Amino acid sequence: MLKPKRANRVVACLVCWTCHSRMGPNHFTLKDGGAVCGLCQTKNPLGNLRKRSIQEVTEPSEILVCFTQGGTAAHALHIECKTVLGPWINFASAETLEKALRYLGATDAQLADHQNQMRRCGQGTSQVRLLPLRKNLLRIDWNKL
């Protein structure tokens, strides 16, 4: 008889120290006393393994991205608008920020809203859906999310 899958089971999750991504047990390998990231192929110490629920690792989450005049600096906020999730990150241009948002999982509607705010004000806040298994381009502290 097969065991039913539990939606809230706890698994080992790797938080890579090079690309800052968060990945579940199927996307990293244990090799030579360390964990090798599946995205950037960097060896991490075993101390970077964290216990997380499978939902935290595999489901997308919504965040807010605040950006400054010209779209060259941005940082992430929790959807509640109170918790800062990461530091300010400088981008080469507004187009680079848009590419980063698309990579992280922003939908076409969210990108259209972002471009509309850039055109009207030059700065603002955009809601973005974070997909799992992406490099953490916004340096989000996963413990705060």
pLDDT in tens, 100-134: 999 999 999 999 999 998 888 888 898 998 888 88
If 0-12 CB within 10 Å is exposed, 13-18 middle and 19+ buried, where does residue 27 land?
A: middle
Q: What is the DSSP string of 75-131?
A: EEEETTSS-B-S--EE-SSHHHHHHHHHHHT--HHHHHHHHHHHHHTS-EEEEEEEP
Q: Hey, where are the domains in the chain?
A: 10-58, 61-130
If 0-12 CB within 10 Å is exposed, 13-18 middle and 19+ buried, where does residue 26 land?
A: exposed
Q: How many CB atoms lie within 10 A of CB 95?
A: 10
At 27, is the secondary structure helix, strand, or coil? helix
How would residue 77 be classed by pLDDT, with cut points 50, 70 and 90?
very high
What does the pLDDT look like over 3-59, one tens digit per residue? 666 667 888 899 888 888 888 888 899 998 899 999 899 999 998 898 888 888 888
| pLDDT given at position 65 | 92
CA geometry: angle 112, 116, 121, nearest 5 deg: 150
Give the tokens for residue 19.
């690309």
